[in-house]
Amino acid sequence: AQSVAQPEDQVNVAEGNPLTVKCTYSVSGNPYLFWYVQYPNRGLQFLLKYITGDNLVKGSYGFEAEFNKSQTSFHLKKPSALVSDSALFFCAVSPITGGGNKLTFGTGTQLKVEL
Amino acid sequence: GAVVSQHPSRVICKSGTSVKIECRSLDFQATTMFWYRQFPKQSLMLMATSNEGSKATYEQGVEKDKFLINHASLTLSTLTVTSAHPEDSSFYICSADPGAETQYFGPGTRLLVL
């Protein structure tokens, strides 16, 4: 069985500071890893994914994530946070079996960026 | 690209009635669509996997006779909540997979059963 852990319910950051949202995973074999963002009363927007290759993945809105196989982590980062980045972030994992894969989501981390 | 729509965005219905929610992939074909339910301040719970032209696969604990799923074409899946009750009130989100490992999500449907 696969699982995802997001250890922080909320992360508070001052605008202009770097931010990190943590994610660790457990899956048999090699995983597909994803980050999604959700704004209030909206669906999820795809940010980025790791499939294979370079461990540092760049995504939308200046976000990036680093895949660390030894630590089974896929932390989301951004060098300089904006107030508009405030949202709910979900990490997700699926097994590598082609299309139509089930995603397992973490519990979500609320990011709050303040002036 | 990769836009998924849901209709309606919100619906209020009386207890005992049925509600249909549509999920459409607007600019791609999706062999597989997924239906999720999200409770306030919680993560997404997968309800079922919908494959075009075949029966949906329901997750454990999800009543297939209550949550009817139809995936009639490569761009449309519907979720019908039959005989809705207040405990069915929730945020329902669909996603579509164009076969490129990534699911793209709809904007969600807020259901309130009175």
What local confidence, expressed as pLDDT, does residue B28 receive? 92
- Give residue-wise pLDDT tens across range A34-64: 999 998 878 889 999 998 889 999 999 999 9
> What is the rounded CA–CA span in Å between residue B106 and residue B92?
9
* Mean pLDDT over the full length of chain B: 92
List chain B residues with CB under 8 Å of A108: 42-43
Binary contact (B43, A108; C-beta < 8 A): yes
The proportion of chain A whose per-residue pLDDT surpasses 90, expressed as a percent, equals 75
List chain B residues with CB under 8 Å of A102: 34, 46, 49
Q: Which residue of A has its CA nearest to B59?
A: A102
Q: Which amino acid is at B33?
A: M
> What is the rounded CA–CA span in Å between residue A101 and residue A34?
12
List chain A residues with CB under 8 Å of B97: 99-101
- Give residue-wise pLDDT tens across range A1-25: 788 999 999 999 999 999 999 999 9
B4 interfaces chain A, CB cutoff of 8 Å: yes
> What is the rounded CA–CA span in Å between residue A113 and residue B106?
26
> How close, in Å, is residue A2 to chain B by CA atoms?
14
Whether the pLDDT of residue A105 is over 60: the answer is yes
Whether the pLDDT of residue A29 is over 70: the answer is yes
Alpha carbon of B38 to those of A32, A65, A79, B16: distances in Å? 22, 25, 30, 21
Residue of B31, B101, B104 to mutate, testing the A interface (most A Cβ within 10 Å of its Cβ): B101
| Phi and psi, residue B33, nearest 5° | -130, 155
* Among the partner residues A42, A46, A103, nearest to B108 by beta-carbon distance: A42
Tell me the CB-side half-sphere exposure of residue B59, using CA atoms within 13 A. 13
* Residue that is written with structure tokens 């490129």 in the block: B100
Whether the pLDDT of residue A98 is over 60: the answer is no
Q: Which residue of A has its CA nearest to B40?
A: A41
> Which residue has better confidence, B48 or A98?
B48
- Give residue-wise pLDDT tens across range B11-37: 999 999 999 999 999 999 998 999 999
- Give residue-wise pLDDT tens across range B61-96: 999 999 999 988 999 999 999 999 999 999 999 999
Q: Which residue of A has its CA nearest to B52?
A: A100
B101 interfaces chain A, CB cutoff of 8 Å: yes
* Mean pLDDT over the full length of chain A: 91
